[in-house]
């Protein structure tokens, strides 16, 4: 894999995204895309944080999925922050 195509993104998804299997949805999509990282609920507000690493094009596809979410979710907005690939994650997980 060409390291110049690797990146890391942190996305905060706001809206009706807790209690609607949003993290499980993100886990499935990230695994399908071959990405690593994690998804977790942010308990101080109605939001889910996603940290993902991998090929930039695949990360962009994940962000497209985050803007839609699973059927029961109502995504209001997704705020993203890009950074350099770290290689800190071996798989994708849900954090509690």
Residues with a catalytic annotation lie at: 23, 41
Q: How far apart, in Å, are the Cα atoms of 49 and each of 2, 3, 4, 7, 86?
A: 27, 25, 25, 17, 18
By C-alpha distance, which of 75, 92, 80 is closest to 34? 92
Half-sphere exposure of 25 (CA within 13 A, CB side): 22
């Amino acid at each position: 894999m060409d390291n110049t195509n690797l990146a890391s993104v942190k996305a905060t998804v706001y809206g009706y995204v807790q209690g609607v299997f949003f993290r499980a949805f993100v886990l499935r999509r990230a695994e399908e895309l071959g990405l690593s990282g994690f998804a977790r609920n942010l308990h101080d507000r109605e939001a889910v944080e996603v940290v993902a690493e991998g090929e930039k094009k695949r990360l962009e596809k994940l962000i497209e999925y985050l803007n839609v979410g699973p059927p029961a979710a109502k995504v209001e907005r997704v705020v993203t922050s890009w950074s350099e690939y770290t290689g800190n994650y071996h798989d994708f997980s849900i954090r509690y």
